[in-house]
Amino acid sequence: MAPAHSSSWMQTHRDAFGSRPLYKLCIPNSHDAGTYRLDYGTSGGGKGPVLTQTKSILEQLNIGVRRFDIRPTFANRPGTAEFSWHCGHYTGEAADKIGWQGGSCASIQEVVNQVNEFTKDNAELIILDISHTYAINISNPISSTSRDVNPDEWASLFSTLKGINCLFTVDRVGGDHGKPLQDYLLDEFIGNGKAAVIVPVDEYSNRQELIRHGFWPVHTLEGKPYLSLGGTSVTHTQNNSEAIWSVLLPSGADSVLNLAAKEQQERFPWLLQQLASESLSASSITMDRIENADLLTFCLAVSYYRYYQETGRSEQPVVVYGAALITNANAQEQIQAAIQQGRSISADNQLLTDTWEGIHKSCAVLYSHGGLVKGRWAREGSQLHFGQDVMSVTYGNKEVMNAKLYYRLLKLIEERGTVRVTNQEIVGGDQNDPLVGTRKTCVVVYRRRGAAEKEERHALEFDNMSF
């Protein structure tokens, strides 16, 4: 069973987050959330190109996911006229040659049942985004077609979705007056100790009917988004070749799930620094293949550092391990010492305590150092490399370091890559040229991962600098 700091993380952190608007939190978001098991589909719609998740909706809720990309498809079982609503993952990209291809996964009723099961015991805010709604007539092998959903079919979908308990309706906020949902405080959703489930429905024009059913239009009367939680996505969209190979070899390297695993392996070590380079403005992180607490660990680190920044505590590192905020004085002292001394430290249970027995955890650290927000991440038992750093960048004898340049150079140094020294690459364009009309020298001082000594690279403008 998931611990409370994961299954009810919003309630766990309400003292910090309750009085904050929703957009100031970073919400874990599941891409194609209902495609964790394949029920039926077309000839070219096997598990390889269809499945994007491995955990059920209930399991995803328990490991911290709070926003779900639900794509209802009204499709018939192959060889029958039996149509039903499922979370679909279909494509018509080559419909003129091979028809629509894909699969129907968890039923919409299953989604409703699992959300209700969760909210019986957890007073959390949940968002179910309803989009990409269409009907599929499966006619294998290559003659399947799609069409728009008709009014009776919409009515049957709404009838199922109305079975969601704890719907957070337009009436609960005093009517359709246009205040974006992301501007409401978390306490306005769940401060009464009850769960709140928001269901925005895209591609349905009758807003009053949506409101009558307890759902939300996607846009206000003024045309603004009712719920805008921008962020970053750690996903990989299959290209045509990958999709074909994943049909032929469903468990091969080109399946959506295996491509997602590769994407995560490549991006997780850099994700916090990427987010820091974007001013930690992400209100959500979207992922395929959500299997453990990693996504929630990232989101909590971002949410807490923003909270610390606004409450005058940005000098204190945010440490999240296995989705638990680590405030233990000994752990904080050791991590701060490692940061100041520029050395590595192991992210393990001995330092951080076992926050979630039986699950393989990861640790996220966001901290202020050298005038920048920096982020480090490591899996349980691996090293947090605080010594890996870029200390300074001068260009035309002027210090030009900023968050975006720091992130780019840190990655290049790790990859032993090359950068061409130009105004665009170093200072973002000619408008920021520190010495107009002069060929400048760029000097980068840095330390590699695991190294004791600093290194220095020099290059003239228009030359290459290799690390």
**Taking CA 300 as the corner, what is the angle to CA 276 and CA 353, rounded to the nearest 5 degrees?**
115
Query: What local confidence, expressed as pLDDT, does residue 150 receive?
Result: 98
Query: What local confidence, expressed as pLDDT, does residue 174 receive?
Result: 80
Encode pLDDT of 161-191 as tens digits: 999 999 999 888 887 778 899 999 999 999 9
Q: Mean per-residue pLDDT for 204-219? A: 95
Encode pLDDT of 238-285 as tens digits: 999 999 999 999 888 999 999 999 999 999 999 999 999 999 999 999
Query: What local confidence, expressed as pLDDT, does residue 172 receive?
Result: 85
- Could you give the CA distance from residue 266 to residue 269 in angstroms, rounded to a whole number? 7
Phi, psi of 375 (to 5 degrees): -135, 135
Query: What is the pTM (predicted TM-score) of this model?
Result: 0.97
- Could you give the CA distance from residue 121 to residue 105 in angstroms, rounded to a whole number? 26
The answer to whether 8 and 123 are in contact (CB under 8 A) is: yes
For the residues of 306-353, what is the DSSP string, one character each? Answer: HHHHHTT-TTSPEEEETTEE---HHHHHHHHHHHHHT-EEE-SHHHH-
Please tell me the number of Cα atoms within 13 Å of 459 on its side-chain side.
Answer: 19
Encode pLDDT of 314-368 as tens digits: 999 999 999 999 999 999 999 999 999 999 999 999 999 999 999 999 999 999 9
Phi, psi of 241 (to 5 degrees): -65, -45
Query: What local confidence, expressed as pLDDT, does residue 263 receive?
Result: 98
The answer to whether 296 and 28 are in contact (CB under 8 A) is: yes
Encode pLDDT of 137-168 as tens digits: 999 999 999 999 999 999 999 999 999 999 99
Torsion of CA 412, 413, 419, 425, to 10 degrees: 70
Query: What local confidence, expressed as pLDDT, does residue 238 receive?
Result: 96
